[in-house]
Amino acid sequence: MKASLDGSNQSGEKMAAMDELPLVLVHALPPFEISFKGRLQSRFQLIDSLDSTFAPHVSVLLCVGPSPVSSDTLRHLPSLQCIVGSSAGVDHIDLAECRRRGITVTNAGPSFCEDGADFAIGLLIDVLRRISAADRYVRAGLWPMKGDYPLGSKLGGKRVGIVGLGNIGSEIAKRLVAFGCRIAYNSRNKKSSVSFPYYANICNLAANSDILIICCALTKETHHLINKDVMTALGKEGVIINVGRGALINEKELVQCLEQGQIRGAGLDVFENEPDVPKELFELENVVLSPHKAIATPESFASLQELIVGNLEAFFSNKPLLSPVNLE
Amino acid sequence: MESIGVLLTSPMNPYLEQELGKRFKLFRFWDFPSADDFFREHSKSIRAVVGSSFIGADAQMIEALPKMEIVSSFSVGLDKIDLVRCKEKGIRVTNTPDVLTEDVADLALALILATLRRICESDRYVRSGAWKRGDFKLTTKFTGKSVGIIGLGRIGSAIAKRAEGFSCPISYHSRTEKPGTNYKYYPSVVELASNCQILVVACALTPETRHIINREVINALGPKGVVINIGRGLHVDEPELVSALVEGRLGGAGLDVFENEPNVPEELLALDNVVLLPHVGSGTVETRKDMADLVLGNLEAHFLNKPLLTPVV
């Protein structure tokens, strides 16, 4: 059993007086950990185990990375009122149980949206213009030997379908307008403040797009949202970029479509069973693969840290949370 | 027009080659063992040269082809054409501006993103199986970083417009300040380099802009700086760039062009903080067709005594 963070071991835990620092359970399954424990320890009393004698009194859980918060986890925490998440996605949290118990959930809010958008666009231009493949070609010494690299495809004028027009999707749309792309989107609901064409049906969006960029939340409804039908509707010249969650796409069908040339190519930051990547993809020149790092810059993590501290402080001072997730 | 002799300097585009063959008497420069062999046999037959960024029409070629009336370049860059000599001899010159502006600007952004966010490197990381052993490192954020552009012409302006979408403050250096932009102007490249993190070369190659990126500029850019070159290899003092990258005096580089293509300095092939591309700036199916049509349109206009579509000289 790991030592609790006040330095004493489990059997010698000190009971916190009610007027000491507020209690926060740091829920971090290995290998996930937070880099700013010191900063938190100056304002909060941290415990790190569901079996701690303090667990029944804990009102806030800080969820580190995708450490799962299941109904079993929640059963250990009868006083829990809030889960402060540290990622854009909340698919690792039993939201139905949170809804039932009235537990609020926060996520990374806008911390990651610029970097996520930048990376999605980097992946997109890479797939269309074959950047990684051409860089490999040069590094292998093939330019003097085999001559010019095969032509890519122009981005300007292409129709981009954004699946999920949230924080990240909006930033992607804003950037792509400057490249001369035509934007349309699919979302749970039409956004009245947005002028881009809305498609309620994902196959219709695909049929009217050259490119699909997947950046929506993973839920029961969106699991395997992108399947063979959607890819067929997208067509042989179509490109798929995924910076959401691996399970948004039926990975087996994606691999088949790519192998058979049913779509032009794909840029993938996420996979169904990370860090495992279907080995068939390693044989393909028309995919760009990334190890789930679209949002990983020092700036986004600094911004996340501020947000997490801000959410914790807002909770304990009864102020509105900074980045609450709508659980409906 | 089938009797008009046209020289194609290199196998630059199959569609262009095919169309030239249909409309003119086409000579392929690379079919001959040497330039001299070609000139000896066919010098009097050539009335038009179709050149590229690889082989254009230099002084030797112009002197060797007394019947040459027009050089139609399959490029926007004119650095491989002896423009002075063409002007003297009344030889017309056309290029392919505008049709490739967007693709080249897109490529500049692709290089910036790939270099800062290590996209090619992380693709290698996944393909090698390294992800199973551990996470990739953090990479450098692009949004909001300062971008300095050398040359605010068609391509430079298109790059600026795209970078603005990423909230990047834009500054530039040009021969003269351009009215009507919000971008900050610097009268020297060194000052520009001292005040930006990402330095993009987007100007024409002329005797004045040769090695415009030199040791002084690289030092001003510094260990967190990145050079992006979508111009010509000769814009950069390549050995200086290489040593700065190897020694860590420069943060990274995204390069589509090199001093001696298709040869790339071997030291660069071993570096992770560079992206190396085989001169693909305008390399899309759509744009190369548009460029080819412009070359064909210019040649047709010339031989039908109509105004040229995109004349330079």
Nearest Cα to B199, choosing from B122, B153, B248, B147? B147
Residue A16 has pLDDT above 50, yes or no: no
B237-277 confidence digits (pLDDT tens): 999 999 999 999 999 999 999 999 999 999 999 999 999 99
Residues A132 and A65 in one domain: no
Cβ contact A122–B117 (<8 Å): yes
The two tokens of residue B189 are: 């490249």
Residues A86 and A103 in one domain: yes
A249-275 confidence digits (pLDDT tens): 999 999 999 999 999 999 999 999 999
Catalytic residue among B63, B85, B279, B300: B279
Strands in chain A per DSSP E: 23-27, 45-47, 60-63, 82-84, 104-106, 159-163, 182-186, 211-214, 239-242, 265-268, 287-289
pLDDT at B221: 98
Nearest Cα to B10, choosing from B100, B75, B99, B102? B75
Residues A83 and A143 in one domain: no
Q: Cα(A276)–Cα(B302) distance, rounded to whole angstroms?
A: 60
Nearest Cα to A243, choosing from A97, A90, A82, A118? A118
Nearest Cα to A87, choosing from A296, A246, A309, A313? A296
B164 touching A (Cβ < 8 Å): yes
Contact A295, A323 (CB under 8 A): no
Q: Cα(B253)–Cα(B276) distance, rounded to whole angstroms?
A: 8
Residue B283 has pLDDT above 90, yes or no: yes
DSSP assignment of A234-274 equals H-TT-EEEE-S-GGGB-HHHHHHHHHTTSSSEEEES--TBT
Q: Which chain B residue shows the shortest CA-CA distance from A126?
A: B110
Residues A33 and A168 in one domain: no
Q: Cα(B193)–Cα(B195) distance, rounded to whole angstroms?
A: 5
The two tokens of residue B10 are: 């290199």
Q: Cα(A9)–Cα(A137) distance, rounded to whole angstroms?
A: 57
Residue A98 phi, psi dihedral angles, 5° rounding: -60, -45
* N-term to C-term CA, chain B: 23
Residues A135 and A195 in one domain: yes
Residues A44 and A158 in one domain: no
Place of tokens 């010339």: B302
- In a domain, residue A328? The reply is no
B125 touching A (Cβ < 8 Å): yes
User: What percent of chain A is modeled with pLDDT above 70?
Assistant: 94
- In a domain, residue A136? The reply is yes
Taking contacts as CB-CB distances below 8 angstroms, the residues of chain A near B287 are 154
Residues A144 and A43 in one domain: no
Residue A2 has pLDDT above 50, yes or no: no
What distance lies between CA A97 and its chain's CA centroid? 21
Mean pLDDT, rounded, for B288-293: 98
Mean pLDDT, rounded, for A272-288: 97
Taking contacts as CB-CB distances below 8 angstroms, the residues of chain A near B136 are 291, 293, 296
pLDDT at A327: 87
pLDDT at A19: 54
CA distance B307 to chain A (A): 29
A131-142 confidence digits (pLDDT tens): 999 999 999 999
3-state secondary structure of A89: coil
Interface confidence, given as ipTM, is: 0.97
A196-229 confidence digits (pLDDT tens): 999 999 999 999 999 999 999 999 999 999 999 9
Cβ contact A180–B276 (<8 Å): no
Residue A291 phi, psi dihedral angles, 5° rounding: -85, 65
Q: At B7, which helix (H) or strand (E)?
A: strand B5-8
**Helical spans, DSSP H, in B99-184:** 101-116, 119-127, 154-164
The two tokens of residue A327 are: 């659980």
A102-120 confidence digits (pLDDT tens): 999 999 999 999 999 999 9
Q: Cα(B12)–Cα(A243) distance, rounded to whole angstroms?
A: 37
- In a domain, residue A325? The reply is no
The CA-CA-CA angle for residues A188, A190, A195, to 5°, reads: 140
- Interface A-B, measured as beta-carbon pairs within 8 A, has a size of 170
The two tokens of residue A247 are: 């399970």
Mean pLDDT, rounded, for A222-248: 98
Q: What is the CA radius of gyration of chain A?
A: 22
Nearest Cα to B27, choosing from B59, B60, B58, B61? B61
pLDDT at A1: 38
Domain count, chain A: 2
Residue B128 has pLDDT above 60, yes or no: yes
Q: What is the CA radius of gyration of chain B?
A: 21
The two tokens of residue B15 are: 């569609």
Cβ contact A151–B122 (<8 Å): no
- In a domain, residue A321? The reply is no
Residues A175 and A261 in one domain: yes
Residues A48 and A177 in one domain: no
pTM of the model: 0.94
Cβ contact B278–A289 (<8 Å): no
3-state secondary structure of A204: helix
CA dihedral B283, B285, B290, B296 (to 10 degrees): 90
Residue A13 has pLDDT above 80, yes or no: no
Cβ contact A132–B114 (<8 Å): yes
CATH number, domain of A162, equals: 3.40.50.720
Cβ contact A131–B275 (<8 Å): yes
A58-101 confidence digits (pLDDT tens): 999 999 999 999 999 999 999 999 999 999 999 999 999 999 99
The boundaries of the domain holding residue A203 are 112-289
Q: Cα(B108)–Cα(B106) distance, rounded to whole angstroms?
A: 5
Instruction: For CA atoms A161, A164, A169, A170, give the dihedral sign.
Output: positive
Mean pLDDT, rounded, for B81-98: 98
B271 touching A (Cβ < 8 Å): no
Contact B6, B50 (CB under 8 A): yes
pLDDT at A30: 87
Q: Cα(A211)–Cα(A239) distance, rounded to whole angstroms?
A: 5
Nearest Cα to B7, choosing from B100, B32, B76? B32
CA distance B38 to chain A (A): 23
- In a domain, residue A119? The reply is yes
Place of tokens 């040649």: B299
Q: Cα(A165)–Cα(A189) distance, rounded to whole angstroms?
A: 10
Chain B residues 236-255 with a CB less than 8 Å from chain A: none
B41-84 confidence digits (pLDDT tens): 999 999 999 999 999 999 999 999 999 999 999 999 999 999 99
Res. A9 pLDDT band, cuts 50 70 90 = very low
B152-209 confidence digits (pLDDT tens): 999 999 999 999 999 999 999 999 999 999 999 999 999 999 999 999 999 999 999 9
* N-term to C-term CA, chain A: 37
CA distance B193 to chain A (A): 23
Q: Cα(B202)–Cα(B235) distance, rounded to whole angstroms?
A: 10
pLDDT at A328: 77
Catalytic machinery residues of A: 245, 274, 292
- In a domain, residue A3? The reply is no
Q: Given A119, A151, A180, which is nearest B283 (Cβ)?
A: A151
Chain B residues 201-240 with a CB less than 8 Å from chain A: none
Residue A4 has pLDDT above 50, yes or no: no
Cβ contact B276–A121 (<8 Å): no
Residues A141 and A264 in one domain: yes
Nearest Cα to B109, choosing from A322, A176, A244? A176
Residues A228 and A98 in one domain: no
- In a domain, residue A324? The reply is no
Contacts of residue B176, defined as CB under 8 A and 6 or more positions apart, other chains included, come to: none
Res. A31 pLDDT band, cuts 50 70 90 = confident
3-state secondary structure of B298: helix
Res. B313 pLDDT band, cuts 50 70 90 = confident
Q: Cα(A108)–Cα(B140) distance, rounded to whole angstroms?
A: 19
- In a domain, residue A2? The reply is no
Cβ contact A154–B144 (<8 Å): no
pLDDT at B306: 98
Q: Is A147 left (phi over 0), alpha (psi -120 to 50) or beta?
A: left
Residues A98 and A161 in one domain: no
